[in-house]
Structure formats: C-alpha cells, structure tokens
Structure 1
Amino acid sequence: MNNFLIVAAENDGLVKCKAGGMGDVVRDVPRQISERGDTAHVVVPAYSRLHVGGKFIMNLDFQLRGQAYTAELYEVTPKKAFDNLTHYVIHHPEITAGEIGHIYHNDPAEPFYTDAIKFIVFCTAVAEAVRQEVFGSLDVIHLHDWHTSLLLFLKTYHPQYSSLKKHRFVYSIHNLAIQGIRPFDDNYSSLRNWFPEVDYDRDALKDYRYQDCINLMATGIRLADAVHTVSPSYKEDVLKPSRPPEFIGGESLEEDLKHADMEGRLFGILNGSNYKNIRTAQKKNIYRNTIRAIFQWLQEESKKYKADFLAHTGEKVVGLLNQPPRFVCASVARLTEQKFYFFKRSPELLAEMLERLDKVGGIFMLLGTGDPGYEQLFREMSYKHPNFIFTNGQSEDLIDSIYLEADLYIMPSQFEPCGISQMLAMRSGTPCLVHHTGGLKDTVTHLETGFAFDGETFEEKRASMLESFDLALHLFFNDPVQWKKIQANAKKMRFTWAKSVDDYYKYLYALPVRK
C-alpha cells in the first residue's frame, strides 16, 4: 500500500475551500488514490475558519523569523467520506482568509505580500508534520502551484528538514501566470526575514526578471522530482515564450520548463472530470434559479452597492419567464484577463455577438465575479443590451442550470492550462465555443464535439471567433441533424480521472498502476 500526502491551497473535498479548478483536482485525485487501495492525506490551510468543529490532532512547533511558532493540525470532515482518505487543515493566526474565495488575498500595491506570509507559515508547519511522520511513512508528496513550493525550498536548504529528501516530490502547475514572486531581503514577507538562519543558493531560486526576488513557481519547477502541467497541449504551450496578447506560453519560465523536459521530469496529463455522484439539476429552472440567487445576494451586506444592478438584472429575467429565448449561450467563470481578455480588449466583439443573438431571439447569460474592471465592463454592457444577462455573483444551483440548459457554452480563454467548465458543459450535452489553446485543444474538436476559433493575431482570432459563432447559430437553426450530432458527441466524451490517475502513477508518482 502506497502512502500519499497532497498539499494545496484549495480542496473542494471540504465545504467552502475552493476558488478555482485546483480545488476540483485536489478533491478528485485523492478519491481515485483511495479507490485503488492506497492511502491519501490532504492538507490545506484553515484560513481562520476551516478548523472550527474539526478534531484537534496536535500542535506543530517550529522556528520562523528567529522565533518560536506553534500551528495547530486538525482533522476535518469532508463532503464525502472515502476509505483510507483523511483531510486536514492547519490553523495559525497568520494564516488568514482572503477576499478571493475567502482564500487568496489581493494586494494591488505589493502582489503576494499577504499570501506569501500565510503560505510560508503553512508550508513550514507541513514540513514539521512530515518530519515527525504525522502522516506515516510517505511515498509521494504532491504539491500544487506556488503556494506549496516552499516545501521544496525547506527540503533542499533547511537543515531541520533534510529528512524530507527521502520522499518523492511532485509539483503540479495549475496557473503558470501566478508565480508568487517575493524579495530575498529587506521586506517583512522576504525569504531572509522568515528564514534568517538558512543558507541557500539565490541563483537556483531567483526570478529572471527581478533577480533580487525568489520566484516560488520557478522553485517548484526547478526542485521537484516530477513537474506536471494539467493538459498535454498546455505542456507544449509553456515550452514556448509568451507573445502577449496573441500567445501566452511559458511566462518567462520556458527555459526552466525546457530543462525539466530534457531531464524527463515534465509531463502533460489532462485533468479529469467527475461523471458519478454529481449534483443533479432539473431543466426549466434556469430563470427561477437566477431570480432566487438575485434575491439572496440582495440580502448580503457586501452586495448592497450592487443592489440597483441586481434589480435591473432581475427585471430582465422576469420577462424571460413568460417569453423564453429561442437560443441561450452562456459562460461561467471568474472575471479575469485570462478568461475574458477578448471582450475587455474589444467590447465591440461582445456587442456584435449580442446583435447576432438579438436577430434570432437569443440571449447571452454570464455568471461570475472577479476583477472590478471586468465587472464594470459587463454591468455597462448589460445596461446597453437587453439580451445580455449578467449575474454578478456565485450560485451553485444557477451554475448547474446553466451547464444543463444553455444551447452553447462560450469559453474564450486567452490561455487555458486545462479548463473544467468545458468538460462540465459537455457532460450535460452542451456544445462549447472555445479558443483553440491549452487544454481546450485537448477536449473540444471543431465541428465534432463543439466549435473552436484561433488565429495568429488578435484581429484574426476576433474574426475567427465571430465566424465560429455564426456557424454555431447557423447549424442550430438550419441544420438540426448536424447540431444534434455535435451535441451527442459532446455528451459521449469522457475525460475520466481513472485514466488520468493511471498516468499519474506511471509518470508522476513512478509507481505501478493500482486498480
């Protein structure tokens, strides 16, 4: 029996511990491991809230900033129990909840300042737990994104944690663009402030652009035994330099990734999706669920400043109860540059799509929160266009209804390491219109399971997106046989975690596949 430790910032195996797709991976992979008869432990920060009601396991004592620190380890109850799978959180007053998903902080003046502090405390506590074999004798430690890469720094350079070198460390990249860059010196969240007694190789840790800083994403890539991108095509993308906005590739780390690839340490394995024990939604509830969500948000103090807009949206949706649209396209995502750059750069592009929809009695439903600039753009577009329904919030019931009831799911990501939304839409038989990049290349085939757009320049991509959108509308209204074939093909696609975790065992974990 193999013994795994999964370390991450998010875990959707727990209630209210997800901000993005990483949470889905950290939920599903350990379940697969447990179903194969192996043992898995998952540990995430408590964010000053997730430990409440948990079972206290022990205090973890360690040194930071030349001072004694004590963190608390709790076992917590998951959403769903599995044999040989245990969930933990680590609590310390400096591991605080942020604004994004009540997990990450947004520090505009000094990016990663607050997050670096809490993840330094978290990672050192985890290192101490591993040193004491709190999780037993481990075979593999699987880290996710820059938030956990400090464990590789501790293993490599900290004398207290040299025993961690006996474990195999795997590092998964979910978003290469977010790198956790912090100064080496002269800052409260600098490496030297937290580890004044540790000697380390600055060249092995530095950011190429800001050489007085540690790049924690690069640390993971450089020091892990195996490095993992969450789709094969994203692996190919990140080996090339970025040319924004036309192409997002290695984000200045392509040389590190090429080096890992040459050493046989870099693997592109597609994320899976869940096809059993899923939340079920009923058809014909999409507008009711929208109104229900709006009323709920209107009660929240944090949404008071949006009350006028929410009421404006509700008024639009009430009209749809009596006169449903002939065609619904939809999108669900955090409102960021990655997800909606094309619309932010060219609001005219979205306006043209809405005009085309208007001619056929169609609407565009967009659900999400995020960057204030993107929220403002979409609120303004909603006021201008009656058939643009922007629900500026988060609601699981409404999200489920959107995946189930939309006719076309729109996913114009500027780049996409893997993507889960297209898989969830396809699972419901909803074809997707996607930018032909990263994991979207590996999951959506143009005119077979959905629609794709691409191009060498922004203008070519913009024109290609409109062309593919026109084609989707044409097939829906004029060629129902072809449309239903694409729907059926999309619904039949299976991106299973069983297959993905087979590849994890073979390539990342270097273990025999257990089934």
Structure 2
Amino acid sequence: MKILFATSEAHPLIKTGGLADVSGSLPDALAALKHKVRLVLPAYRDVLQKVPAKSVRKVAEFEVGGCGREFVATILQVKAGGVEGIDVPVWLVDIPELFDRSGNPYLAEDGTDWWDNGERFGVFSKVVTELAMDRVGLKWVADVVHVNDWQTGLVSALLSMEKKRPKTVFTVHNMAYPGNFPQSLFAQLKLPPSLWGMEGVEFWGHFSMLKAGLLKSDWVTTVSPTYAKEICFPEFAYGFEGVLQKRFEEGRLIGILNGIDEEVWNPAKDELIHKNYSLEKGRVANKKRNKAFLLNELSTLKGLDESAMTSQMENWLEAPLIGLVGRLVEQKGIDLVLQVLPDMLEQTQANFVFVGSGNKAYEAELSRYAQQYADRIWTYIGYSERLAHQVEAGADLFLMPSRFEPCGLNQMYSLAYGTPPIVHHTGGLADTVVNATDEHLKQGTATGFVFYDPSRYALKSTLLHALHLFGKKRSWQQLQKNGMQQNFGWKASAKHYVKLYSEEK
C-alpha cells in the first residue's frame, strides 16, 4: 500500500512530546513491512536546519489559500535515510510565512500559542489534501492517509468531500488538545460550507479541527486499548463523548498500543548511558554503575563537594533511587508526588531524581526540596534526552502517577531497562504494566506497581509496597527480568495498523 503519514512533529526532526516519537517510528515500521510510506510535516526553521542540504530537492510548488491571502507552498523531498533515524522519504511543506519561526512548533517564546495556529495548520491540512489527491504533479497516489491529532484533523474532513479518495485514519494522541478556533477562521479559510454544522466541524459554535478528524475519518484510533474506552466517558472526552460513543458503536473507534524504538531505547546499545547491559549480561553490576554515574553527574551539577560525594556514594548505591522524567503538570500527577514526598523522606531510605519542566510552582517546589535535601533529592528543571536515558538506566524505580495517559512511553522504556515502573491504572499504563500482587509474583507475570485511585494515600501505599519488595533481592531481580522480557517494539503495532488500512471504508 501507499501510505501518506501526516503529522505536525516527528523525532528526530522536531519533538515536543509523544506524537513525535510515534511519527518518527511508525512510518519506518510500516516501511519494514514492505509498504510505500511518505512522511509529511511542516518545514519549520529548526527542521530545515537539521536536514543536510545534499539530501533535499524541490519536487513541487503550488499556490494554496490562507485567510484572505495566497501562499506558495514548496514541497521539499528528503530522501529515505537523508536524516539519521528516519528510513522513509519525507515531504516538507515549506511556507516561510507560516513555519519559518524559531523554537516550538506551536508556542511563541512567551509560552502562548502562536496567534495564527489555526491558519497555519488549516493551510498545512489543505496542502496534505492536495498531496493525497495527487494534484501537484508528484505522480504518487495514496491508498491511505494517516493523520494525527488536531493539527491534521481537517485533512479527513477535506478528503471526505472528494469522490475518488484514499482511506483516512485519524489517531488521537491526547484528547486534551481540541484545536478549537472561532467560526470566522472556517470562513476565512474558505472551507466547504457543507462541512459546517453539528454533523460537521462545528463544536459549540466554534470550529474544531479535532472534531473534523473524529467525525470525518474512516477510522479513528487511539494509542492504547484502554484509552479508546476511557475517552467515551465525559471525564476523558472533553465534550466529545457523543461523537466518540457514536464512532465506537459504529465499530470505527479502536485502540492500538504504541510501540517504542528498540534501536534508541535499548540498554544493550544505548550510547547515552554510562554502561550497557542486557537481560542476560551485566544487568545487576552495570545498572549499579549507571546509578553511581547518574548520581555523580547530578551531584556535580548541584555543586556538591567531591569528597562529600565519595563518602556518600556507598549509602546512595544501597538506598533505592526513584526517578521521574516528564512534564511537571497535574495531568502527570506531580502534585500527588509532592504530597507524599515528606512522608517518604521521613519514613524510608528512598532517594529521588526529577527531570522535567512545566508548572512554575511545581518547578520551584522541587528545586526547594533539592536544596533542602541535597543528599537525597536531585532536580533538573528542563528536558535533557541524555538525562532521560540515564535516569531509566540508573534509577531503581520509575515513577509515573499520571491521572490520565493515552499511552505513555516512559513506562515501556522503564520495563526495557529493568527499572520497574510505579503507575496509575489508566490508559496505556493499565495496558502495559502488570501489578506486583502476590498472585502475579507467583505466576511470574508481575512487571511493576499499579495503584487504582489517583490519591496521595494510594500512591504512598504503592510506593511503600515497592520499597518493601526492593529489599527482597531475589523477588526484585525476577521482577526486573519479567519487565525486560516484554516486547513493545513497533512491529506488532504496525501490523495492527496495516490490518486496519486494509479494511473497507
């Protein structure tokens, strides 16, 4: 099949979250199954700076309408393998007025949305539609167009107006971002009037690009089976429960679990960690060496005296180290962590490392804890890919207490690295982590720790249970092995998508 995969971000070209990881990996996995894939995304300034000039050529140029103005869209093709980490040809949509900006694809430097995001991604969706219908002279007709999140949801609605069109699949990575804009944007983009209304893209008088994808795609997928069920309920649907329940009843809403890139997230070959290890070799000794390296690096960053670090290292290595990498926002449960942290410091020997950014109040509180407990808490405000890998390899436990989590990737990274995760029973976390109950431990199926109520009491109880098991070396090592034996590669997920692509419209 010929598959056009449209996205607003793709690792390693540009990344703000999990969408980029999926967009950088799934197309390659589909290509490995012998399908012809093209990845299309905006030519942001940062993307053009990363692409080697010798790998790029202009393949098309045409006009596309925006809000009361015309743009020239240039399609730049990056050859397969032209960017390390992406094995399929990439089409970059170069419209400098919309995408030649520094930094984040969606946010200005002050942290607010770009004022013209609606026009930017509305125009991008128009371009993708022209590519899908092969109206720009590339002589490449898509069988399937796979679009992702609100930024490309309009593509499905526009293609629904075409007579001979490809199949459309819309993947929701996070329902919390609806892509809502004023009705005036719909008019200014000169979109087909028949798309407006309750059975179209209207959402409480606004223009919703998310609804366009949910309602007008042949298939709607989410990134885990549990999340597909959860979003049919009001607390997870953000007002779209009626649309989602309709699609579910039609059999057109399903969940396909994300995979992980086993070339990038593999402790046996990870170039960002201190010592490599695998299930069979070096798991215990080298994991401890990674722990020492991580603590030494973080303590150096903190400015701790080298002699003090040396005297403390033996205690640090014996005490359990709990790591958290992620956005410091309530969705991720960081407020629950801060509520239980004083008790954990007082009642246990556990140490903590936090890597992330988000709510300024949470950043400040974690930084304060790191100063107050200089030899037990390490905090890095910001994002560091290198540190993210080192925490997975060096921590003993990984903390992921999200209130909701469409799929989540860090819990799967943690399992692969022999770092049992502590998770809330929601979305993809529920689908990937088997709770370490007595029964599951006896059966040899336990892989981590699960709590079922997003409260400080449930989290604390689960943390204490995990630390208790950490003291039982034989049981702990078996738990690590169980996790490292799991297979979360992209091949299985890609096969599910191919099966879906083959279904009737």
TM over 0.5: yes
Residue 508 and residue 352 in structure 1: after superposition, are their counterparts in 2 closer, same or farther (change >3 A)? farther
Superposed displacement of residue 321, structure 1: 5.4
**Structure 1 pair 223/72, CA: closer, same or farther in 2 (3 Å)?**
same
Counterpart of 2:75 in structure 1: which amino acid? L
Tell me, in whole angstroms, the C-alpha distance in 2 between the residues paired with 1:289 and 1:480. 22
Pairing of 1:444-463 with structure 2 (within 5 A): 444-447=433-436, 448-455=446-453, 461-463=455-457
- One-letter code aligned to 1:419: G
Contact 1:129–1:135 (CA under 8 A) maintained in structure 2: no
What is the alpha-carbon distance in structure 2 between the residues aligned to residue 254 and residue 270 of structure 1? 21
CA offset at residue 288 of structure 1?
A: 5.1
1:40 aligned onto 2:34: no
Q: What displacement does 1:81 show?
A: 5.5
Whether the aligned pair in 2 keeps the contact of 1:354 and 1:388 (CA below 8 Å) is no
Distance 1:257 1:120 in 2: 23
- The alpha-carbon distance between structure 1 residues 314 and 492, as it changes in their structure 2 partners (threshold 3 A), is farther
Residue pair 2:226, 2:430 contacting (<8 A) in 1 also: yes
Counterparts in 2 of 1:484 and 1:287: CA distance versus 1, 3 Å: closer
Structure 2 equivalent of residue 340 of structure 1: 333
Instruction: Please say if 1:50 is aligned against 2:47.
Output: yes
Match of 1:63 among 50, 56, 65: 65
SS at match of 1:391: strand
Task: Select the residue among 266, 271, 275 that pairs with 2:253.
Answer: 266
- The equivalent of 2:443 in structure 1 is none
Asked if structure 1 preserves the Cα contact closer than 8 Å seen for 2:3 and 2:38, the reply is yes
Of 192-201 and 493-502, the range deviating more from structure 2: 192-201
Could you say which residue in structure 2 is the equivalent of 1:304?
Answer: none
Deviations 1:429-448 (A, max 9, x none): 11010011111011001101
CA contact (8 A) 2:149 2:170 kept: yes
- 1:503 maps to what in 2? 496
- Asked if residue 91 in structure 1 is aligned to residue 91 in structure 2, the reply is no
Residue 353 of structure 1 corresponds to 344
Paired residue for 2:173? 174
Q: SS at 2:199's partner residue?
A: helix
Query: What RMSD in Å do the two structures reach over aligned CA positions?
Result: 2.7
Amino acid at match of 1:370: G
2:492 counterpart of 1:489: no
Which position in structure 1 is the counterpart of 2:142? 138
Q: Distance in 1 between matches of 2:92 and 2:299?
A: 33
1:289-368 → structure 2 map (5 Å cutoff): 313-315=302-304, 319-320=308-309, 322-324=311-313, 325=316, 326-343=319-336, 347-356=338-347, 359-360=348-349, 362-368=350-356
Shift of residue 509, structure 1, vs aligned partner: 4.5
| Alpha-carbon spacing, 1:65–1:199, altered in 2? closer, same or farther (3 Å) | farther
Cα 1:322–1:94 shift into 2, 3 Å: farther
Is the CA contact (8 Å cut-off) linking 2:106 and 2:113 kept in structure 1? no
How big is each residue's C-alpha offset from its partner over 1:324-381, in whole Å with a ceiling of 9 and x where there is no partner?
A: 31221101112233213543xx73323223334xx42x31101112333332332233
1:451-498, CA deviations, whole angstroms, 9 ceiling, x for partnerless residues?
01112xx5xx32111111001111112x22211111111111112321
Residue equivalent to 1:128:
130
The residue type equivalent to 1:428 in the other structure is: Y
Contact residue 7 and residue 151 of structure 2 kept, 8 A: yes
Distance verdict in 2 for CA 1:375–1:420, change over 3 Å: same
1:38 maps to amino acid: H
| TM-score, length basis structure 1 | 0.83
Deviation of the 1:98 alpha carbon: 7.2
Q: Deviations over 1:155-206 (max 9, x none)?
A: 245xxxx35x511010001001111111102xxxx22222277553222345
Judging changes above 3 Å, is the alpha-carbon distance between structure 1 residues 282 and 194 closer, same or farther for their aligned structure 2 residues? same
* Kept after mapping to 2: 8 A contact 1:181/1:213: yes
* Alpha-carbon distance in 1 for matches of 2:372, 2:414: 28
1:397 aligned residue (386, 405, 415): 386
How many angstroms does 1:102 deviate by?
2.4
- What is the match of residue 422 of structure 1? 411
Structure 1 residue 376 corresponds to structure 2 residue 373? no
Correspondence list, 1:23-34, <5 A: 23-34=20-31
CA, structure 1 residues 287+399, in 2 after alignment: closer, same or farther (shift >3 Å)? farther
Count of residues in correspondence between the two structures: 462
Query: In structure 2, the residue corresponding to 1:471 is in which secondary structure?
Result: helix
Which of the numbers 69, 73, 76 marks the counterpart of 1:74? 76
Shift of 1:152: 2.1
Question: Secondary structure, in 3 states, of the residue corresponding to 2:418?
Answer: coil
1:60-117 deviations in Å (ceiling 9; x for gaps): 31222343210221123221353xx211211212333778x72221699986743223
Counterpart Cα distance in 2 of 1:322 and 1:509: 62
Contact 1:341 1:414 in 2 (8 A): no
Aligned to 2:190: 195
Q: Summarize the Cα distance change of 1:236–1:418 in structure 2 as closer, same or farther, 3 Å threshold.
A: same
Aligned 8 A contact 1:168 1:225 in 2? yes
Distance 2:234 2:91 in 1: 38
Work out the CA distance in 1 between the residues paired with 2:299 and 2:312. Answer: 20
Q: Normalising to structure 2: TM-score of the pair?
A: 0.84
Unaligned runs of 5+ in 2: 276-288, 437-445
SS of 1:217's equivalent? helix
- 2:27 matched to 1:22? no
CA distance in 2 between partners of 1:438 and 1:170 (Å): 20
Write the distance in 1 (CA, Å) between the matches of 2:139 and 2:22.
21
Matched, 1:226 2:231: no
Distance 1:26 1:43, change over 3 A: same
Contact kept, 8 Å, 1:64 with 1:194, in 2: the verdict is yes
Structure 1 position 410 matched with structure 2 position 394: no
Question: How far, CA to CA, are the matches of 1:122 and 1:342 in structure 2?
Answer: 37
Pair 377,73 (structure 1): closer, same or farther in 2 beyond 3 Å: farther
Q: Is 1:267–1:508's contact at 8 Å kept on the other side of the alignment?
A: no
CA shift, 1:272, in A, is 1.1
8 Å CA contact 1:331–1:410 kept in 2: the answer is yes
CA distance in 2, matches of 1:251, 1:480: 44
2:365 counterpart SS class: helix
Distance 1:253 1:380 in 2: 40
Please give the alpha-carbon distance, in whole angstroms, between the structure 2 residues aligned to 1:412 and 1:176: 19
Among 231, 241, 253, the alignment partner of 1:254 is: 241
For residues 213 and 319 of structure 1, what CA distance do their matches in structure 2 show? 59
CA distance in 2, matches of 1:388, 1:215: 43
Task: Indicate how the Cα distance of structure 1 residues 285 and 322 shifts in structure 2: closer, same or farther if over 3 A, else same.
Answer: farther
Deviates more, 1:28-37 or 1:401-410: 28-37
More off after superposition, 424-433 vs 72-81 = 72-81
Q: Is the 8 A contact 2:335 2:362 kept in 1?
A: no
